[in-house]
Structure 1
Amino acid sequence: MTIWILFAVMTGAAVLAVLVPLSRRKPTEAASAAEGERLFYEDQIAEIERDHGRGLITAEEMRAAKAEAARRLIRAASNERDPKDAVDEPALRRRRAASAIALSSVPLLALAVYGAYGSPHLPAQPLSARLEQTIDPRNLDITEAVARIEAHLAADPDDGRGWDVLGPVYMREGRYRDAAGAYLNAMRLLGEDPTRLANLGEALVNAEAGVIKAQAREAFERALALDANHPKARFYLAQALEQDGDVDAARAAYEEIARRSPANAPWMGIVNERLVAVGGEPLAPRENPFAGAPGSEAGAALAALPEADRLAAIGGMVEGLASRLKEEGGTADEWVRLLRSYAVLGERDKAQGALADARTALAGDAQALSALDAAAAEMGLPPAAQAQ
């Protein structure tokens, strides 16, 4: 209700500002004539006093002349009206008509425009409340998405999942220090894992224009301590060696990344670029562990599937291979194929379980165990002594 009272006051002020000039009255012709007559008699009295001063008339004549002029001046003054009170009737009618139209039409027009283009049906809400409303994601731009997440985290700063989601968004916006803060909060609430640590290090590197400083290096090293095969952490640590001027160590680190990378690894392009930059030779990623799947036609059909269906089909094939090897046993090459399949799918725990099963199944074959251990080392899996 208060807002409508304010609108009414503002409308009245605007209308009065327009109507005030219309209220100024102009003098009539009669009033102008009376004013001229009054000035004439005032000049005549002054002239009589000047004639007496020059000795042209006597004092008695001066008093008589001034008395006559004064009587005429009084009559002129009585006929004179205040110019402000002299308003012709047509002007007065126009002013009243304009006032009535303005006072009625301006508010009505404003209400009509607000009803057409505004949202009068919505209750008054602060920004934080509006952000909580359900919005079609297709119409949600990145700025509004960030605002919604930030508003949520301002109200609930202990939502680790929210910080985990906000970090990559800040990275895409180029807000690298904010991204680093988001990853730190996510790890404080959800715990450290290799991906969060590597992302923290990457944010810190970008914040320093590509220079890998101590805090970023520590994050990458902690990521590798949790996952010795994490490609992002390995890559940035190889870059750190390159920035330190240790070209040979950097080249060896890039080559190690290439050896550990699964088939068609998306980072192999930039790894080979750095290898060439430090004097190495580009390396191809390992042979596709699914290449041995029976039938080239089946492989082509698999490649033609949508991404989600292809991953589901590959997962089914891998689980089928794992089940057969566990029940019936198999060769060292088949067990290595299973390990590499799990590595490609990112299922490290299953790879370690399959490695233990393979060592049990191949316990009497020293050559097979040696091949198995070599493949396990290549994928960053623990050797037999640590696994036991």
Structure 2
Amino acid sequence: MLIWIIFAVMTGAAIFALLWPLSHGRVAALADASDATSLYRAQLGEIDRDLARRLIGPGEAEAARAEAARRLLRASGDETDPAGETESSLRRRRATSALALSCVPLLALLVYGAYGSPGNPDQPLSARLQADPSRQDFALALSRIETHLANNPSDAKGWSVIAPVYLRQGRYDDAANAFAAAIRHGEPNSEALAGLGEARTLAAGGVVTASARESFAEAVKLDQENARARFFLAIGKEQDGDAPAAITALRDLLGTAAPDAPWSAAVRQRLERLEAETAGSAITSLAPADRQAAIRTMVDGLAQRLKAGGGTLPEWTRLIRSQVVLGDRTAAMDALAMARERLTDAAALAELDALAVELSLKETAP
């Protein structure tokens, strides 16, 4: 209803702007050119032209002017309406006013009906910010939290909510500031400190900086099982060139991980890569005989670990290939059979069958 009241006021203002000059301005544009005064003035002009063309003499012209002037004065004295305001001009002015009163609102309604949305309710931002958060889109919810924090900068809970959002969006500097504000205005906790360290690390392009390590160390002090902090501390050791310490830290992390931990696969993958790089670097510096013994020791260690339990398809594949390369086909066939027992999903079994064909171990297939 409010929108229609606003439209009515705007339409009235537009009509008033059109009618005001017609009612208070000069009306010469609408005056009747055939009234008596205009006729007598035209006669005076005609006398001057006849005199110029010598159609009449000066005396005759003077007499004609006097007569026209007397008629002009008489006509001017007899007028009761303003000069030029005849009945016909008044009708035209009234017609113009009626046209403005009718056409302007009609034209406005037609344009709004064609291009507007009169059926949609108004949706001011303040009302949307107060709406049910479950019905808001993500951007609006984020805007609501940011608006709240701008007015309440000491709200630690608000900062702890928005900090992980910034982190997922790749706004690492904003995330670091938000985590720092949550810690500053609230009780320091392990997750907030780990988040602060991760944001600082990612803001530095993946380098575990000194300030990030301080945050991770504080997080581990508060919670020794904080997997995120321990993982980045291990990466920091790797970046320092201390690969053995990084490997030990990653192994300890996996040793305390829950069987269904979502991050264990990423940690295991990084550990395998680091172990392979470290072993490869150490083995290449050995003599040929020692190198072969070192490789066999690594393969046996992998076999013992997989036999003890667990193991992924890439790990079983690497073990089987290594045993074939070392010439121990019996161990490779035993490892293949054990892998089939441990890995029961169809995709993994298909990969193992393809590996058996590739390495001529097909006879071990059940």
What band does the TM-score fall into relative to the shorter chain?
A: 0.5 to 0.7
Where in structure 2 are the equivalents of 1:8-47 lying within 5 Å?
10-17=10-17, 25-28=29-32, 30-31=34-35, 35=38, 38-39=41-42, 41-42=44-45, 44-45=47-48
Pair 136,246 (structure 1): closer, same or farther in 2 beyond 3 Å: closer
Partner of 1:97: 98
Residue 182 to residue 85, structure 1, CA distance change in 2 (3 Å): farther
Question: Within 1, Cα distance between the matches of 2:247 and 2:118?
Answer: 69
Confirm or deny: 8 A CA contact 2:40 2:72 kept in the other structure.
yes
1:220, distance to aligned residue in structure 2 (A): 0.8
Q: Where in structure 2 are the equivalents of 1:146-295 lying within 5 Å?
A: 146-278=142-274, 279=277
Task: Provide closer, same or farther for how the CA distance between residues 40 and 89 of structure 1 changes in structure 2, counting only shifts above 3 A.
Answer: closer
Q: Which residue of 1 aligns with 2:129?
A: 131
1:175 deviates by 3.0
1:164 Cα deviation after fit: 2.0
- Tell me if 1:118 matches 2:121: yes
Residues 103-129 of structure 1 deviation map (CA, whole Å, 9 limit, x = unaligned): 87799999999985336xx9xx983x7
Structure 1: distance between partners of 2:190 and 2:32: 94
Name the counterpart of 1:344: none
Q: What is the one-letter code of the residue matched to 2:121?
A: G
C-alpha change, 1:238 and 1:29, in structure 2 (3 Å) is same
1: CA distance, partners of 2:208 / 2:40: 98
Deviation at 1:168, TM superposition (A): 1.9
Instruction: Please state how far the C-alpha of 1:29 moved relative to its aligned partner.
Output: 5.9
Q: Following TM superposition, by how much is the alpha carbon of 1:198 offset from its aligned partner in structure 2, in angstroms?
A: 0.5
**Deviation at residue 17 of structure 1 after TM alignment:** 4.3
In structure 2, what is the Cα distance between the partners aligned to 1:212 and 1:147?
A: 31
RMSD: 4.9
Mapping for residues 306-325 of structure 1, pairs under 5 Å: none
1:98 maps to a residue whose letter is: L
Give, in angstroms, the shift of residue 203 of structure 1: 1.8
CA distance 1:159–1:95, shift in 2 (3 Å): same
Distance 2:5 2:59 in 1: 67
Q: Take 1:118 and 1:207, find their aligned partners in 2: how far apart are those partners?
A: 44
102-111 or 203-212: bigger deviation: 102-111
Number of residues of Structure 1 aligned to a counterpart in Structure 2: 272
8 Å CA contact 2:47, 2:64 repeated in 1: no
Q: Is the 8 A contact 2:217 2:229 kept in 1?
A: yes
Is the 1:224–1:230 Cα contact (8 Å) retained in structure 2? yes
Q: For residues 179 and 209 of structure 1, what CA distance do their matches in structure 2 show?
A: 14
TM-score, length of structure 1 as denominator length: 0.53
Assess if the C-alpha contact under 8 Å between 1:194 and 1:224 holds in 2. yes
- Cα distance per residue 1:354-382 (max 9 Å; x no partner): xxxxxxxxxxxxxxxxxxxxxxxxxxxxx
1:257 deviates by 2.6
Distance 2:86 2:273 in 1: 96
Cα offset for 1:219? 0.5
Counterpart CA distance in 1 for 2:111 and 2:50 is 64
Taking the aligned partners of 1:274 and 1:217, their CA distance within structure 2 comes to 19
**Amino acid aligned to 2:270:** R
1:343 aligned partner? none
Measured after TM superposition, the shift of residue 234 of structure 1 is: 1.7
Q: Give the percent of matched residue pairs that are identical in Structure 1 and Structure 2.
A: 35
Rate the CA distance shift 1:29–1:62 in 2: closer, same or farther, 3 A: closer
State the 1:271 CA deviation.
Answer: 1.9
Provide the C-alpha distance between the structure 1 equivalents of 2:111 and 2:43, rounded to a whole number of angstroms.
56
| CA distance in structure 1 between the partners assigned to 2:238 and 2:90 by the alignment | 95
Partner secondary structure for residue 148 of structure 1: helix
Counterpart amino acid of residue 13 in structure 1: A
> Retained in 2: the 8 A contact 1:42–1:73?
no
Q: State the distance in 1 between where 2:6 and 2:260 align.
A: 67
Q: Any gaps of 5 or more consecutive residues in structure 2?
A: 280-297, 311-366
| Residues 48 and 65, structure 1, Cα contact 8 Å, conserved in 2 | yes
Change in Cα spacing, 1:14 to 1:196, as seen in structure 2 (3 Å) is same
Distance across 2 between alignment mates of 1:247 and 1:91: 98
| Equivalent position SS for 2:260 | coil
Matched, 1:141 2:137: yes
The CA distance in 2 between the partners of 1:176 and 1:66, in whole Å, is 99
Alpha carbons of structure 1 residues 239 and 82: separation in structure 2 relative to 1, 3 Å: farther
Structure 1, gaps ≥5 residues long: 289-388
Aligned mates of 2:269, 2:34 — CA distance in 1: 101
